[in-house]
């Protein structure tokens, strides 16, 4: 597996005769014929955000936001690398399509170190400014891009928000036992409070693709009842929601999609959905009904989901998102992330660098003015 996370299998060095050929795919419809060959690459990917299903769903959802270019590296008929890119309207800068509008750590796709290096060099030779907003710091892409840039152009690497995760083993079969005595008492109190409103039941599903729409309708309805509904940022009202519908159908066909509900009486109090990839469970979205907030329904459901992950023999529970206080109650493990801004030694690269420096200075000035006031 081409690892972008530091506790997984290490990147396999490979020797490949000859150079790679690179094709450009400009839409989801052009990408679909690549599916069978790309699925062989998926098995080597460390994260679901690097897979065909994620990239194709993103291309179908966000194709109106700017020109899409998916750089596909081939060794003969075998697809060994891919860079899903979307152009930003300003300065023709490109960024990762598999991050755009979704904000989860994303990366290039590559089967091994040589393919990763060849892809980075191919991107450098194209001479376009490139922005990778949030990549796992352990990803080989960081070093590959540093080598490709060399002394020509500029690469800026900056820290970004880490993602939390849990290393699973049999001790997590009873997750509440991982809590401090005070937190265990709080957990039992929350459970009792929920039971006062009715029987508490967790529903953990691995649906077929034809069941996904109805289940996501239920999940989106729960999320809409929270503050996201009042601010207009709920999945049901966003293109991110459209993306997850597409992505869920594709991963459900492969038996990877998971969705869960916590029932209190005859109502759904909390929901979460995610995907199994690389023998890890990746939590994509969570939501709860605020009328049950005293029962901490999201925590009650997370406990059941962790139990299921342990029962399924999965290695980790990847919370994605960012580190928050309620998550730190469960784990202190974090996966550091970085951003990469790549400015080629060209007119467009210099223009992009100048614009970014001015934007950074403007933000700093606004912050100082806010603090002064």
Q: Is the pLDDT of residue 279 over 90?
A: yes
Which tokens hold the place of 305? 């989901």
**Domain 169-314 grouped into CATH 3.30.70:** no
37 and 79 Cβ atoms separated by less than 8 Å: yes
Q: Out of 21-35, 71-85, 216-230, 274-288, which region has the weakest mean confidence (pLDDT)?
A: 216-230
92 and 129 Cβ atoms separated by less than 8 Å: yes
13 CB neighbour count, 10 Å cutoff: 8
d(CA 32, CA 54): 12
The residues pairing with 292 across neighbouring beta strands, listed in sequence order, are: none
70 and 84 Cβ atoms separated by less than 8 Å: yes
As assigned by CATH, the class of the 21-161+337-372 domain is alpha beta
Q: Locate CATH 3.40.630 in the chain.
A: 21-161+337-372, 169-314
Q: Which residues contact 254 (CB under 8 A, 6 or more apart)?
A: 53
Q: Which residues contact 137 (CB under 8 A, 6 or more apart)?
A: 159, 335, 336, 337, 338
| φ and ψ at residue 366, rounded to 5 degrees | -65, -35
> What's the CA dihedral at 278, 288, 166, 258 to 10 degrees?
-20
Res 335: pLDDT: 98
Helices (H), the chain: 28-31, 35-42, 52-62, 113-126, 140-149, 181-197, 209-224, 227-231, 239-253, 297-311, 325-328, 347-372
Confidence band, pLDDT 50/70/90 cuts, at residue 11: very low
160 and 337 Cβ atoms separated by less than 8 Å: yes
pLDDT tens-digit map of 228-252: 877 778 899 899 999 999 999 999 9
d(CA 242, CA 236): 8
Across the range 117-142, mean pLDDT stands at 94
Q: Which residues contact 213 (CB under 8 A, 6 or more apart)?
A: 245, 249
| φ and ψ at residue 220, rounded to 5 degrees | -65, -35
Q: What is the C-alpha end-to-end distance of the chain, expressed in Å?
A: 52
Q: Out of 16-20, 129-133, 221-225, which region has the weakest mean confidence (pLDDT)?
A: 16-20
134 and 144 Cβ atoms separated by less than 8 Å: no
Higher pLDDT, 150 or 159: 159
Which tokens hold the place of 274? 């995610």
d(CA 271, CA 195): 17
pLDDT tens-digit map of 26-51: 999 999 999 999 999 999 999 999 99
74 CB neighbour count, 10 Å cutoff: 17
């Amino acid at each position: 597996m081409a690892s972008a996370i530091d506790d997984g299998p290490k990147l396999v060095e490979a020797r490949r005769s000859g150079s790679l050929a690179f094709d450009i795919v400009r839409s989801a419809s052009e990408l679909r014929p690549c599916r069978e060959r790309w699925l062989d690459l998926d098995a080597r990917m460390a994260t679901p955000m690097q897979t065909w299903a994620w990239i194709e769903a993103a291309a179908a959802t966000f194709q109106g936001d700017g020109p899409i270019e998916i750089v596909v590296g081939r060794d003969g008929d075998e697809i060994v690398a891919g860079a899903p890119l979307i152009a930003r309207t300003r300065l023709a800068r490109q960024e990762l399509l598999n991050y755009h509008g979704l904000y989860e750590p994303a990366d290039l796709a590559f089967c091994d170190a040589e393919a990763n290096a060849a892809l980075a060099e191919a991107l450098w030779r194209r001479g376009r400014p490139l922005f990778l907003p949030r990549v796992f710091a352990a990803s080989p892409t960081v070093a590959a891009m540093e080598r490709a840039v060399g002394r020509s152009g500029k690469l800026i690497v900056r820290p970004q928000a880490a993602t939390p995760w849990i290393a699973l083993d049999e001790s997590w079969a009873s997750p509440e036992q991982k809590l401090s005595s005070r937190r265990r008492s709080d957990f039992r109190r929350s459970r009792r409070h929920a039971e006062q409103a009715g029987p508490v039941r967790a529903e953990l599903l691995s649906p077929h693709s034809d069941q996904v729409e109805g289940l996501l309708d239920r999940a989106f309805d729960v999320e809409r009842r929270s503050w996201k509904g009042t601010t207009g940022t709920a999945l049901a009202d966003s293109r991110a929601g459209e993306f997850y519908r597409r992505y869920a159908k594709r991963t459900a066909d492969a038996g990877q999609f998971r969705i869960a509900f916590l029932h209190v009486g005859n109502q759904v109090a909390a929901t979460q959905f995610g995907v199994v990839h690389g023998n890890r469970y990746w939590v994509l979205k969570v939501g709860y009904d605020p009328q049950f907030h005293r029962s901490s329904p999201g925590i009650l459901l997370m406990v059941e989901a962790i139990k299921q992950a342990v029962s399924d023999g999965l290695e980790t529970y990847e919370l994605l998102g960012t580190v928050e206080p309620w998550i730190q109650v469960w784990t202190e493990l974090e996966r550091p992330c970085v951003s990469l801004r790549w400015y080629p030694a060209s007119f467009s690269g210099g223009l992009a660098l100048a614009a970014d420096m001015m934007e950074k200075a403007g933000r700093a000035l606004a912050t100082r003015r806010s603090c002064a006031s």
